[in-house]
Amino acid sequence: MDMSKDVLIVGKPPPGSCQLSQAMRAYGWSPLHADDLEQAAALIEDHSLAVGLIYLVSGNLPKLSSLENTVVDDTTQWIALVDQEPRDDTALSRLVSHLFFAYHVLPIENRQLDCLLNHALTMARLCRRQADDALVETQHHDDEIIGATPKIRELFRIIDKVANVDAPIYINGESGTGKELTARAIHKRSTRSRGPFIAVNCGAIPNSLIQSELFGHEKGAFTGACQRRAGRIEAAAGGTLFLDEIGDLPFEMQVNLLRFLENRKVQRIGSLDEIDVDVRILSATHNDLEEAVRVGDFREDLFHRLNVIQIDMPPLRERQEDIELLARHYFEKFLDKTSMTVRGFSNDALILLRKHDWPGNVRELVNRIRRAMILCEHRLIRPIDLGLERRRNHRHAVTLEQARHIAEHDVICAALARNRNNIQNAARDLDISRVTLYRLIEKHAIRRHCRHDELVQSMKIVP
């Protein structure tokens, strides 16, 4: 990728300094000038600048937040022009180390500065190339499975490999990792892509209705059945049926599903006729189905029918390099440039995003980004806008007992989040009884009957 040798020079040189623009032109650079940060921001919006120079003179240093809000740009590498060594001044050292690619101490040494600028330009090219590579990956899998880490690239490879293998696929992973997105990506790349994709959340349908929802019913089959209705399985004929949260399927319904998988025929409630249905079955759950089979909560024969091919979704905490890429993707997706003043993330916010454990995975990240964009009153999103700064402040442990309290609280909240507040499954994950888990929930004042994002917000020390 070629980049022009434009360079933005921000600020005025100290008295007695040489004409920097003329010297830079001699080395092939095309300088642009901005007297202050406000002018610099306007130039940055109008030009795709790879490198910039900023005068940082003692006694007149801009605030860190001013630099962040005005000129810091992911695609631009900045060099500070300083009148003293940064290590001799705390404020200057903080600015330089926090925001700049390099610094050059005045007076200007033309050849040395040219060398620094060329290094900065090379780094800018590398960063943009990496961003473009990541964009290619995300465009290749345009179902919003975003990522460039080895685990996500492996997921992309598996999706492409199994898409045209017309066999049942079981997608295993924690809540919020993108299991349905993976199922949609498989369908889209399969020979069934022109057929329907029908998603059913087995845990969201009442037990009394799930047979009718899946297999359909005839008119008059039961009270309220005013007309014939095809089930979800029939509706997916020629395409893909995605059974989400298959681990929550009632045990008695597992027999009916197993029978369909064996003979590919459905029988509506109230009918004696069987209907042939050609459909591919994909299933997913955040539960450990092998453990459910072991304890007798899930049929072993059904598990083996569904688990011909297994795909394991990596949790977000295991792909930290993707966090910033995901954050920026959803920021751009939700950005309404006509009504929002927010234009990006502060460095502190990005650091905290990478440090967070993300028990709710990508779904939690998306919710935090969207909320932060709505609540943010500055150009850049700060930790407080994400709701992470408050948690960090509250979670400072002074004593060993407090540290134990924090650890116990976090483990319980994470287990509840993974299992969608299901006490039995969470207790099984923690290897404790349900009675013990109820006692610990009460001890830590954890609100169990709340939405997942509210559960994550509740994770703080109780005095």
Which residues, including other chains, have CB under 8 Å from residue 45's CB and lie 6 or more apart? Answer: none
Q: Give residue 20's pLDDT.
A: 87
Amino acid present at 26: A
Report the DSSP pairing between strands 309-312 and 280-285: unpaired
Q: Give residue 206's pLDDT.
A: 87
Count, in order, helices (H) and strands (E) of the chain. Answer: 21, 16
Q: Give residue 69's pLDDT.
A: 61
Q: Give residue 298's pLDDT.
A: 94
Which residue positions in the chain have pLDDT lower than 50?
Answer: 1-2, 135-142, 390-395, 449-463
Q: Give residue 241's pLDDT.
A: 96
CA distances from 422 to 27, 61, 62 (A): 66, 54, 52
Quote the distance between the C-alpha of residue 14 and its chain's center: 46
Q: At what angle do helices 323-334 and 361-375 cross, to 10 degrees?
A: 50
**What is the end-to-end Cα distance of the chain in Å, rounded?**
56
10 Å Cβ neighbour count for 60?
Answer: 10
Which domains occur in the chain, in start order? 6-136 (3.40.50.2300), 166-312 (3.40.50.300), 317-386 (1.10.8.60), 395-457 (1.10.10)
Report the DSSP pairing between strands 380-381 and 344-345: parallel
Q: Please state whether the peptide bond connecting residue 107 to the residue before it is cis, i.e. omega within 30 degrees of 0.
A: yes
Q: Give residue 138's pLDDT.
A: 46
Among the residues of 419-463, which ranges form H helices?
A: 423-430, 434-443, 452-457
Residues 309 and 169 sit within 8 Å (Cβ to Cβ)? yes
Surface-to-core class of residue 115, CB atoms within 10 Å of its CB (0-12 exposed, 13-18 middle, 19+ buried): middle
**What is the maximum alpha-carbon separation in the chain?**
98
Residues 413 and 446 sit within 8 Å (Cβ to Cβ)? yes
Residue 399: HSE in the Cβ half-sphere, 13 Å Cα cutoff: 5
Tokens linked to 448: 């169990």
Classify 336 as helix, strand or coil: coil
Which residues, including other chains, have CB under 8 Å from residue 402's CB and lie 6 or more apart? Answer: 461
Which residues, including other chains, have CB under 8 Å from residue 441's CB and lie 6 or more apart? Answer: 412, 416, 448
Q: Give residue 389's pLDDT.
A: 57
Quote the distance between the C-alpha of residue 203 and its chain's center: 24
Look at the alpha carbons of 124, 125, 130, 133 in this order and tell me if their dihedral is positive or negative. positive
Model confidence, pTM: 0.58
Radius of gyration, alpha carbons of the chain: 29
10 Å Cβ neighbour count for 264?
Answer: 15
Q: Give residue 217's pLDDT.
A: 84
Q: Give residue 140's pLDDT.
A: 43
